[in-house]
């Protein structure tokens, strides 16, 4: 097996220069760097990651803790994180906290004990233990998808990357109101998550902008799960004055709502209009095709990696919250006639401290 000394002889440089190229510990002239890289390629040299970590105090690994990895939304985020990490030469260690605060802290501790350089975490609805651990151990971390503004001044303690939630939800409600619906229901997500509270805020704003009252009976929680949304939708349909339009707060709850409607023998959009937050691969295959808000899942994952690497490079920089715009994908479940699917991007400024 080739050694670093073999690479140095082949490139005509010192072993120290090869080390600087591999570990990026000191600037190296471009032609010298290229000679080292060519020698590595020619000899098939594989760096010793453990030895490198002893020199640099870095393992070039990132810990990722996200729940429901089987969820297509988080699967796409995972793809974005993996691609971003690989692009910058980092490996990925993955754990599923199951949206359980106690388990969440344990898996984050395990990732930390594996000496990852930093973490990307989608926090649970009750994350004080998680935040305390990250703060106490000064772990470089980026909060993903779900934001937490837990300081009195509203400023984040951690870097955060997520999609816009309120404005896209308001757009769905406004669209249904424009179609003549006056009883628009929302199946919201798990209480305590920022995505849930922000989408509820958008729902209420959309109703107010359309001059519609916010009927508390039309706002139910499906707890971000298929079974919960099925029960919540059944409760809505049992009302004396049921909704004529329904908005679901994520892709799993869309499936639950559709199951409840099928059990009732109801047709979308003839009996009830349906719009959903979270576009997914099958949304275009349903009959009717689902009108949805599409989140930039892969971009969220890739941006989280970049924000984490920025934090590693500049530990003292102020925390920032990056919000990425969503797209309105207009199909037919809302009751509109068939038309070419042209996603409309909802532009919004990046918030937080500038890079």
53 or 243: which carries more pLDDT confidence? 243
Separation CA 119–CA 121 (nearest Å): 6
pLDDT category at 57 given cuts 50, 70, 90 is: low
Report the pLDDT averaged over residues 116-133.
Answer: 92
pLDDT at 152: 52
Q: How far is CA 127 from the centre of its chain?
A: 17
Outline which parts of the chain fall under CATH 1.10.260.40: 4-56
pLDDT at 348: 47
Q: What is the pLDDT of residues 177-221, one digit of tens each?
A: 999 999 999 999 999 999 999 999 999 999 999 999 999 999 999
Q: What is the pLDDT of residues 317-349, one digit of tens each?
A: 999 999 999 999 999 999 998 765 455 566 543
Q: What is the pLDDT of residues 138-170, one digit of tens each?
A: 999 999 998 887 555 566 789 999 999 999 999
pLDDT at 281: 77
Give the DSSP H or E segment for 287.
none
pLDDT at 287: 78
Q: What is the Cα Rg of the chain in Å?
A: 24
pLDDT at 70: 63
244 or 114: which carries more pLDDT confidence? 244
Is domain 61-163+297-324 classified as CATH 3.40.50.2300?
Answer: yes
Whether residue 74 has pLDDT greater than 80: yes
Residues 6+ apart with CB under 8 A from 315: 140
Q: Check if the beta carbon of residue 219 is closer than 8 Å to that of residue 207.
A: no
pLDDT at 351: 46
Which among 179, 233, 170 has a CA at the least distance from the CA of 198?
170
Separation CA 130–CA 147 (nearest Å): 13
CATH fold for domain 166-295+327-345: Rossmann fold (3.40.50)
Separation CA 188–CA 195 (nearest Å): 9
Q: What is the pLDDT of residues 223-243, one digit of tens each?
A: 999 999 999 999 999 999 999
Residue 285 carries which DSSP code?
Answer: T
Q: Distance between terminal CA atoms of the chain?
A: 43
Question: 3-class SS at 178?
Answer: helix
Outline which parts of the chain fall under CATH 3.40.50.2300: 61-163+297-324, 166-295+327-345
46 or 88: which carries more pLDDT confidence? 88
Report domain 4-56's class. Answer: mainly alpha
User: How buried is 301 (Cβ within 10 angstroms: 0-12 exposed, 13-18 middle, 19+ buried)?
Assistant: buried
Percent of the chain with pLDDT over 90: 69
- Report helix angle 49-56 to 15-23, nearest 10: 90
pLDDT category at 352 given cuts 50, 70, 90 is: very low
278 or 273: which carries more pLDDT confidence? 273
Locus of tokens 């105090």: 57
Give the DSSP H or E segment for 340.
none
Q: What is the pLDDT of residues 287-322, one digit of tens each?
A: 789 999 999 999 999 999 999 999 999 999 999 999
pLDDT category at 38 given cuts 50, 70, 90 is: very high
């Amino acid at each position: 097996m080739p050694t670093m000394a073999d690479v140095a002889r082949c490139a005509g440089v010192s072993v120290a220069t090869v080390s600087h190229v591999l570990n990026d510990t000191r600037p190296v002239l471009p032609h010298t760097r290229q000679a080292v890289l060519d020698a590595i390629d020619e000899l098939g040299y594989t760096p010793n990651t453990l030895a490198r970590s002893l020199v640099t105090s870095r393992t070039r690994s990132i810990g990722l803790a996200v729940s429901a990895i089987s969820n297509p939304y988080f699967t796409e985020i995972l793809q974005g994180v993996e691609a971003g990490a690989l692009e910058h030469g980092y490996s990925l260690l993955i754990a599923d906290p199951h949206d359980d605060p106690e388990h969440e802290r344990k898996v984050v501790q395990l990732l930390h004990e594996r000496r990852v350089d930093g973490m990307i975490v989608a926090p649970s609805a009750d994350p004080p233990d998680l935040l305390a651990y990250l703060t106490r151990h000064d772990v470089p971390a980026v909060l993903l998808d779900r934001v937490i503004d837990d300081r009195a001044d509203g400023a984040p303690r951690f870097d955060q990357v997520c999609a816009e939630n309120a404005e896209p939800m308001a757009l769905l409600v406004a669209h249904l109101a424009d179609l003549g619906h006056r009883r628009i229901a929302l199946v919201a997500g798990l209480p305590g998550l920022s995505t849930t509270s922000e989408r509820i805020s958008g729902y209420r704003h959309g109703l107010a902008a359309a001059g519609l009252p916010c009927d508390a009976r039309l706002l139910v929680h499906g707890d971000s799960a298929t079974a919960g949304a099925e029960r919540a939708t059944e409760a809505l349909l049992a009302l004396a004055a049921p909704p004529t339009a329904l908005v679901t707060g994520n892709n799993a709850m869309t499936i639950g709502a559709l199951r409840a409607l099928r059990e009732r023998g109801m047709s979308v959009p003839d009996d009830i209009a349906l719009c959903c937050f979270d576009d997914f691969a099958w949304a275009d295959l349903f009959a009717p095709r689902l009108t949805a808000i599409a989140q930039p899942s892969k971009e969220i994952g890739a941006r989280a990696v970049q924000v984490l690497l920025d934090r590693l490079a500049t530990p003292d920089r102020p925390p920032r919250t990056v919000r990425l715009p969503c797209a309105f994908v207009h199909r037919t479940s809302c009751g509109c006639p068939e038309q070419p699917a042209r996603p409309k991007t909802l532009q919004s400024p990046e918030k937080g401290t500038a890079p």
